[in-house]
Structure 1
Amino acid sequence: MSNRSLRFWARNRTNARLTAIAASALVVTLGAVSWFVWSSPDSPVREAADTVVAAANPLTAQNALLQQQLKTAKGQVASQNGKLKNAAAAAAASAAAHAKQVASLQQQLARTQDQLGALEAESDTGTGSGDKGSSGGKGSGSKTTNATKPPKVPAAGSPGGDSTPGGTEKPDEDPAAVITAPSRDSLLHPEHRYFGMYTEQAPFNWATLDATAKKIGVEPNVVGYFSGWDEDFRVSAVQRAWQQGRLPLMTWESRPIAAGNNSNSAPEYSLPTIIGGGFDAYLHQYAKDIVATGLPLAIRLDHEMNGTWYPWSELNGSGKAINGNNVGDYVKMWRHVHDIFQAEGANALVIWVWAPNIINNMQPSSHTTQEFLAGYYPGDDYVDWVGLSGYLRPPWRAGNDFTAGYTFDRSLDQLRTLTSKPIFLAEVGASETDGHKPGWVKTFFEQFHDSKNADIIGFSWFSLAITSYVGGERSTNDWRIDSRSDSLAAFAEGIADPAADFTLIPAD
């Protein structure tokens, strides 16, 4: 390259060096100025740059706002969760208080019913609309009797016993002062067999029982009713029963009276709780109240224990505990209750009835053996009568010939293997389903003709129509004596047969 081609600032080496030095100084100076401008907080250039950066990043402010909103929402959620927990706790406390209030109201209702029962005793006519036609099952209307109806209690101030307009004598204003009853010992071994009945509201109202008795032509001398362990002893039930000359048979269930039969769970009433003394105060007072009446009664305590449907049973079909109970607890419970009554003197008035369920389709096979039943028996020292609950009821087992022998014989054999105590069929009935009832009723009374059944001292018929669940299906069974005319006729004829040896009290 020729010297002519050099730029003016680099025509020689000296100029070139000076030019390079000047350029470097300029760069340093510009850098210093730039640093000063950018590092100064009040610099308009810096503010302009920040504005440009903010404009270039619009999501920064929005993100900060969203973060703040998220924080606020989290706080609100935490606050609502706290309020929800407090509300749940308050609801639980309210429910517990409500349950206690309901229990208290139930007790008040029971006491009120007792008072109403006593008032009804003063005005109850005791009459019913009996069917006297040919379908009523009375035949010619004449019956062989081996007993007469006990006299009514005279009204106060009326030696002759003034009657109410309906025809039933009015009881004394103080029924406890005039009511009498046979001795317990004479009741234990009756001269003739007992005929008992469960009906709606008896013994607190006799309308249904008396109406049915008129259709049969014979009055029952046993009246059955139910009571729970949330109820005090119902004095009026026993008094009203004996006013009519009837032995009261109380089925006493260790659970609340309003409990449904669709559950076998009642933890507060478990057998270990009873054995451990959880109900001792209640039991002592109950026994004292019985003694105060001076009147005998039969108590069927926690019946059908060999099934799986009540909370006083011990095992289900899989061998698992029911209601927290242990094997052997039922016997311990029974003896515990019996011992308390003995200590209070109540056993001088009480006939203890131990009544399992018959062998049938409702039980698992493991619950139908002799050994299983024996595990529930408290012993002869603690039992006065043994009994059974037994029904003609669907579903039908193969081989069922629809006779009372098929229904009861196997279970009666098990009872007789356990003990020689008198047998009282404490709860019996027959369903109208499929039309087998009249024939079954006929065989039911024929079984009393057989000498092998001489130890059966009577029965109590469950004369109600009940809807329940069997095998998970809803079913209505009409157990009433007068459910149909042919069933009623078979019953009336059977009980009047002298060979059956029942106490026959003509119905008014």
Structure 2
Amino acid sequence: MSKPNRTWWAPTAANARRTAIGATAIGLCLALASFYVWNSPGSPLAPAAQLTSASQKTALENHLEAKKANLEADVKALETKLANREAALKDATGKSASADATIQDLRDQVAAAQGAADAAASARDKTAAELASKGSGDNGSSAPQSQPAPVTTSKPTTKPTSKPTTKPTGKPTSTPKPPATSTPITAPSLASLINPTSKLFGMYTQQAPFNFATFDDTATKVGETPNVVGYFGGWDEAFRPAAVQAAWKRDTMPVLTWESRPIGSGNDKIVEPGYELPTILSGAFDTYLHQYAKDIVATGLPMGIRFDHEMNGIWYPWAESDGSGKSLNGNNPGDYVKVWKYVHDIFEQEGANKLVAWIWAPNIVNNLPKTHKTAEYLASLYPGDDYVDWVGLSGYLRPPYVDNPYTFDFTFGSSLTQLRALTKKPIFLAEIGASETGGHKAKWITSLFDGLAKPENSDIIGFSWFNLAVTSYVEGVRATNDWRIDSRSDTLAAFVAGITTPGNGYDLTPIAKP
């Protein structure tokens, strides 16, 4: 038999095992409790290092909270300061913008003044140069000329007509400005201008209609106020509204001689590259022409345009031929009429024809080449009544005098006959004058007014006088032709007598002589 398995503290083996298990469980519970007590932060038995860490954490949190509060206060202060600065900056920016605008405006004014000064100086120098260098012309033609210059083709050696050699360009000695007025500028209707109830007396002077000093001086000597002022313009110039405005401010009709070439071209220059009639017809100037017409419409004021005058001569680049069958400036037969209609149609598109009296004005036929003297040739250059409001003539009395009776009929008779065969339109002697050379001027002026007073010439509604003195070459001889109305006392007296004769039809405003 085996020994029983028991200990001294348990009577049986089973009890011993139960007792050992219970003791072990109790020991584990005590160990867990001790561990909790020793490691709890709030326990008085907790380790010193642990307590110190918790205390530091609380202090740091308090410090950070305080710093955060201070920073938030600083942010609010900075935001307030920034708002104040932004308001101040906005105010300063507004003042700066205003100051900048003022400065820019002053700069613009300075630039405009400088530009005006430069333009005035250029115009002055150009005018002086033109007066100093103008060359010879042909009898009966109005075209001012300069001294001969090299050109690609030469002019015929026999000059058919004589022409004044300086044209008034209308360019002012100072910058033109629209007339200052507190009331709108008014003018008669175009219809009443085209069909006037009294005769017209016009003048060309060097500066009118921008400067009326010479114009008014001559008018005062005549004792009558002209009701037409003539001036010239080229296709390198924009429309100049100041000319039309200044004229109508004086109740004077402006008539522009509009040349399809640069205004500074000398009248001995027949060839103008880039201004050939076929070039115009190609549309090369369409933008310019449309803008010119628009600018006329913008004024709302009527005017006359004598476009590419003296087209039956041989001295301008818009002439078709030289009288011997050769083309001038690359032009073809029929091109002149085509160009006239082309330009007229562009003005119609822009509404400018409601303000423009179109003046078709050839040269007197007396001394033209034989082929150009005929009625058929003149007719080939006429655009037709639908495109013309007045027909006119350029004609001068000047040397050389060959079997010349110095009369109105001799100067204008043959040309008037051809005009009347073409149309019944009113006739305006668009550019006329007489030279003092030879001593025939006063007699010719008397004949002029006698001829205009004849019933058969009642369709002549007036004339415009080329009122300048010009030095030029005539058949190689340098001479001065004084075209002015007041060139001599007997000339002036003849003119005054003619224009003031009762019944002559000039209803002009008298001027009291000083």
The 1:459/1:504 distance shift into structure 2, 3 A limit, reads: same
Match of 1:271 among 271, 277, 295: 277
Contact 2:178 2:245 in 1 (8 A): no
Equivalent residue for 1:396?
401
Instruction: Give the Å deviation of 1:193.
Output: 0.2
Q: Does 1:317 align with 2:320?
A: no
Match of 1:441 among 433, 445, 449: 445
Q: Does 1:456 align with 2:463?
A: no
Paired residues, what number?
Answer: 346
The 1:409/1:172 distance shift into structure 2, 3 A limit, reads: closer
The 1:315/1:382 distance shift into structure 2, 3 A limit, reads: same
The 1:222/1:114 distance shift into structure 2, 3 A limit, reads: farther
Q: Within 2, Cα distance between the matches of 1:243 and 1:257?
A: 26
Instruction: Give the Å deviation of 1:506.
Output: 1.0
Spell out, residue by residue over 1:216-265, the C-alpha distance to the aligned partner (whole angstroms, 9 max, x if none). Answer: 00010000000000000001000000011100010000011111111111
Query: One-letter code of the match for 2:408?
Result: A
TM-score (ref. length: structure 2): 0.65
Alignment of 1:43-62 (within 5 A): none
Equivalent residue for 2:209?
203
Q: Within 2, Cα distance between the matches of 1:379 and 1:270?
A: 22
Alignment of 1:481-500 (within 5 A): 481-500=485-504
Match of 2:248 among 233, 242, 267: 242
Equivalent residue for 1:65?
none
Equivalent residue for 1:352?
358
TM-score (ref. length: structure 1): 0.66
TM-align CA RMSD: 2.2
Q: Within 2, Cα distance between the matches of 1:174 and 1:182?
A: 18
Q: Does 1:182 align with 2:182?
A: no
The 1:498/1:410 distance shift into structure 2, 3 A limit, reads: same
Match of 1:173 among 169, 180, 202: 180
Contact 2:394 2:430 in 1 (8 A): yes
Alignment of 1:79-478 (within 5 A): 112=119, 173=180, 178-361=184-367, 363-398=368-403, 400-478=404-482
Query: One-letter code of the match for 2:366?
Result: N
Contact 1:198 1:461 in 2 (8 A): yes
Instruction: Give the Å deviation of 1:171.
Output: 9.0
Q: Which blocks of at least 5 consecutive residues in structure 1 are unaligned?
A: 1-107, 118-169
Equivalent residue for 2:37?
none
Q: Which blocks of at least 5 consecutive residues in structure 2 are unaligned?
A: 1-114, 125-176
The 1:317/1:478 distance shift into structure 2, 3 A limit, reads: same
The 1:349/1:200 distance shift into structure 2, 3 A limit, reads: same
Instruction: Give the Å deviation of 1:466.
Output: 1.6
Equivalent residue for 1:50?
none
Contact 1:195 1:503 in 2 (8 A): no
Corresponding residue SS for 1:434? coil
Instruction: Give the Å deviation of 1:379.
Output: 0.5
Equivalent residue for 2:164?
none
Contact 2:366 2:414 in 1 (8 A): no
Rg comparison, structure with higher value: 2
Spell out, residue by residue over 1:10-43, the C-alpha distance to the aligned partner (whole angstroms, 9 max, x if none). Answer: xxxxxxxxxxxxxxxxxxxxxxxxxxxxxxxxxx
Instruction: Give the Å deviation of 1:475.
Output: 3.1
Contact 1:354 1:383 in 2 (8 A): yes
Q: Within 1, Cα distance between the matches of 2:229 and 2:502?
A: 22
Spell out, residue by residue over 1:188-228, the C-alpha distance to the aligned partner (whole angstroms, 9 max, x if none). Answer: 11110000000110011011010001100001000000000
Corresponding residue SS for 2:438? helix
